[in-house]
Structure 1
Amino acid sequence: MATSVVVEDRAALDGMFRKHNGWLMRWLGRQRWTVSSAEDLASDVFIALLTMPNLGAVREPRALMTTVARRLICDARRRDDVRRSYEAELAALPESLDISAEERLIVVQALQAIDAMLSTLSDKARRAFLLSQVEGAPYADIAAELGVSVSMVRKYVAQGLRATYLATANQG
């Protein structure tokens, strides 16, 4: 039964591609906020659609494709912002503290992984986790700043630790 669902979803994806790929490429080509070529983004959209169940039930495929494209663009822009911020900080360092291109890539990838992990948390959980782990703030101070109870701060920090664990477990 699972095989027939996969075959139906592949057929639905094939139909979406044949019917809407040209439109998607033209739509992406008109956007000024894109971070890569329309062809690359269209490919990424269809790759993302591959992982979605019940594609045959989608009533508005163009709306789905534009939503997926916007999310991919936002993720790419966020990663690009992290990379540019890091490179700007590196440029401000004295030459004696400069690091190799390989080390720079490792740090940028680590920062992007941290950013992706933090983006899975709610705003309050992210702030509580960072205040606790980076700033070393006591839970009572964090609770006062966020306007929540100390027990809620514990839950937020636990969510952050869980997200960190899952992110590191997924990396291998």
Structure 2
Amino acid sequence: MSVVQLSSQQYVQRLYSDHNAWLNGWLRQRLGCAHNAADLAQDTFVRLLKSPDGLATLRQPRAYLSTIAHGLVVNFWRRQSVERAYLDALAAQPEALAPSPEEREVIVETLLAIDAMLLRLPSKVREAFLLSQLDGLTYAVIAQRLAVSERMVKKYMAQAMLHCLMLAQQ
């Protein structure tokens, strides 16, 4: 039966039956955990179901699946890194100040959204924003470090603040 005769859902089902075991193994090698590999394999096929465009012309399913899965692995590692940093910071706080598990999850999701927003910024904008907000440097010092004018630093900061406002409105 040709791909053209299959619906998108049927094609994803066929991809799943033909390649799920392979994808699980591929992910298991990268993650070292069968449970996380199974979760990300499922997420890969869910992504296909949500965005079936182009499936009819798919010529190398394993390459396509591994590309999607690789992106999910990177997101998984980023989330683990952010969560680990937050939990380390939280461990340094007195227990009376510890948030509930629900509050922790909201905080981690917020940190991930901030991380994603920062990654979308141009590198100099991101660096200027972090130098100002985390290191407390003045615009003049930031300008020297980035080898730009102080006026450019102000533009970078305005751009970063705009992204922060857009994030806050989501």
Pairwise TM-score range, normalised by the shorter structure: 0.7 to 0.9
Q: Is the 8 A contact 1:45 1:65 kept in 2?
A: yes
Q: SS in structure 1 opposite 2:148?
A: coil
After TM superposition, the structure 1 = structure 2 runs for residues 1-172 of structure 1, keeping only pairs within 5 Å, are 9-10=8-9, 12-33=11-32, 36-49=35-48, 50-51=50-51, 53-170=53-170
Q: Which amino acid aligns with 1:168?
A: A
Q: Is the 8 A contact 1:35 1:76 kept in 2?
A: no
Are residues 71 and 143 of structure 1, via their aligned partners in 2, closer, same or farther at CA, if it must alter by over 3 Å?
same
Q: TM-score, normalised by structure 1?
A: 0.74
* Offset of residue 112 of structure 1: 2.0
Q: Is the 8 A contact 1:118 1:126 kept in 2?
A: yes
- Indicate the RMSD between aligned Cα atoms, in angstroms: 3.0
* Offset of residue 165 of structure 1: 3.2
* Offset of residue 36 of structure 1: 4.7
Runs of 5+ unmatched residues, structure 2: 1-5
Q: SS in structure 2 opposite 1:137?
A: coil
- Alignment size in residue pairs: 165
Q: SS in structure 1 opposite 2:169?
A: helix
Runs of 5+ unmatched residues, structure 1: 1-6
Q: Which amino acid aligns with 1:54?
A: G
Moved over 6 A (4+): none
Q: TM-score, normalised by structure 2?
A: 0.75
Q: SS in structure 1 opposite 2:162?
A: helix
* Offset of residue 82 of structure 1: 1.4
Q: Distance in 1 between matches of 2:31 and 2:106?
A: 30
Q: Distance in 2 between matches of 1:29 and 1:95?
A: 36
